Amino acid sequence: MKAMSFFQFLKGSGSDLDQTPQSDEDETVVDKIDQLDVDILQTEHNIIIYAQIAGVDINDINLSIEGDANIVLIEGRRTRPEFTTFPESDQLGVFFTEECIWDDFYRRIILPEGVVIEQAEAKIKNGVLILVLPLLNISNRKILDQDQP
């Protein structure tokens, strides 16, 4: 994945996930990617998306809005931190429990309405990604319709 801030990618043209080569086992990358769970709230003026991303580095998140401003893509990677403060002998061992998912995640969300990309906001608070996407209002929709050939 490209190393971009998620604010830059938020206004980008989309995901490069489809160009990723297949693995040696002939599984597509999508087969190995965990679906990111989200909560989506629609208010009168906004669509707000909440996604738990605790442990994800901000540089490992890519966001984009595609289509007619009604498709949101969220993708990234969860990486287990290395033990850099323990003696080397303690770093070698065998896990007896592994419940955390340390891997790529991806979510494609089709919104019920288009959003104003230029006013979209993204922030992380307490390990939760919050996307605030202002809905196109009726006056914006009329302007867009008149500008189209």
* 104 touches 33 (CB < 8 A): yes
Pairing of strands 34-35, 104-110: parallel
Whole-prediction pTM: 0.66
| pLDDT tens-place values along the chain, 149 residues long | 444 444 444 444 444 444 444 445 555 555 567 899 999 999 999 999 999 998 898 889 999 998 888 899 999 998 888 766 666 666 667 778 888 888 899 999 999 889 999 999 999 999 999 999 999 875 554 444 455 55
The domain spans of the chain are: 6-81+98-147
The architecture CATH gives domain 6-81+98-147: Sandwich (2.60)
